Amino acid sequence: MKLSNIRVVLVQTTHPGNIGAAVRAMKNMGLEKLYLVEPKHFPHADATARASGADDLLATAVVCETLEGALAGCGLVFGASARLRTIAWPQVNPRQCASVISTLDDTAEVALVFGREHAGLTNEELEQCHYLVHIPANPEFSSLNLAAAVQVLAYEARVACVDEVASQETGVTSSPMATADEMAGFYRHLEQTIIDIGFLDPANPRQLMRRLRRLFNRAHLDKMELNILRGIFAAAQKNIN
């Protein structure tokens, strides 16, 4: 996995100084891609000042209207959360996150998503992530400054990815990974299929799609596997009645 293919996504950041401090942390660790979802103030002099020389990353930052837009093309998405959530979502610590990243091939695109200073990420946003990543901090004071959280994850990614031996020992998928937009299409197809075959009652969906998302996210589908499964859905839909 190339460190330069890891994108940092900041959602609705309030303080531009935090954006600057985040790119400084990124550039220190060899990360290059910043995506900003609806930043409150950007560009801004405070961001440039806090970037202290990493302002080239501010210049190439991509500003998006939605999180979905910022994740387009990403095969694997981690959502950083200061709180342990009530939703049971697969959870890793920064080292485990970095270890997963280091096993991916050089074409993989990965996103690390960070929330608002005051409110973090919503459950809906976390559901767009394959994993929740929590920095095991003091449980009585667990919320790090946004840029400090970026620093911890970026550092762990660097340590894991520059250790080439470690990444060679672990498996690499043969077909490129399915991207986030392909996975979104996959889930729409899956949902429609299980409605069509009478397995999911849209009037009473319960937690079924959430559970299925969790299951398939854990599998890190590559493009070929995704196409096989979509072929099965299409055949099932064709053969109803």
Chain residues binding ligand SAH by CB under 6 A are: 80-83, 114-115, 117-121, 134-135, 137, 142-144, 146, 149
Please say which residue, 109 or 125, places its beta carbon nearer to ligand SAH: 125
Min separation Cβ 119 and ligand SAH, Å: 6
Please say which residue, 81 or 102, places its beta carbon nearer to ligand SAH: 81
Min separation Cβ 152 and ligand SAH, Å: 8
Min separation Cβ 162 and ligand SAH, Å: 22
Please say which residue, 80 or 200, places its beta carbon nearer to ligand SAH: 80
Distance CA 100, CA 78 (A): 11
Q: How many residues does the chain have?
A: 241
Cα–Cα distances in angstroms (integers) from residue 77 to residues 47, 49, 66, 68, 101, in the given order: 25, 29, 15, 11, 10
Please say which residue, 114 or 131, places its beta carbon nearer to ligand SAH: 114
Please say which residue, 144 or 159, places its beta carbon nearer to ligand SAH: 144
Which residues have CB under 8 Å from 41's CB, separation 6+? 16, 47
Min separation Cβ 122 and ligand SAH, Å: 10
Please answer whether residues 132 and 90 qualify as being in contact, where contact means their C-beta atoms are separated by less than 8 angstroms: yes
Min separation Cβ 54 and ligand SAH, Å: 19
Distance CA 207, CA 229 (A): 21
Cα–Cα distances in angstroms (integers) from residue 204 to residues 108, 185, 207, 209, 212, in the given order: 37, 22, 9, 11, 16
